A = this chain, B = another copy of it.
Amino acid sequence: MAGMNSTDRINVPAVTPITSLGYALLWLIRARPQSGYGLRMVFDTTPLGNYSSSPGSIYPALKNLQRAGLIDNRREDGRPVFVITGNGDVALEAWLSVPVTADDVGRRMDVLMMRFALLQDDANPARTLAFLESMHGAAMAQADNLEAFLAGEVGGSMPLQAQLAVRYGLETTKTTVRWAAEAHKALKQGEAKT
Contacts and interface: CB of A to CB of B under 8 A. Distances in A.
Contact of A117 (B116, B120, B161, B179): B161
A161 B120 contact: yes
A108 interface: no
A178 B170 CA distance: 13
B179 A171 contact: yes
Interface string A148-183: 000000100011111011111101100110110001
B171 A175 contact: yes
A23 to B, nearest CB: 15
A143 to B, nearest CB: 13
A168 B121 contact: no
Nearest to A162: B117
A46 interface: yes
A113 interface: yes
A42 B85 CA distance: 49
Contacts of A39: none
A81 B119 CA distance: 53
Contact of A175 (B45, B128, B172, B190): B172
Given A46-B154, A154-B46, A114 B175 contact: no
The winner among A50, A165, A167 for most chain B CB atoms within 10 A is A165
Q: Can you list the 9 inter-chain pairs with the closest CB atoms, starting with the nearest?
A: A113-B165, A120-B161, A117-B162, A120-B159, A175-B175, A117-B165, A168-B179, A171-B175, A117-B161
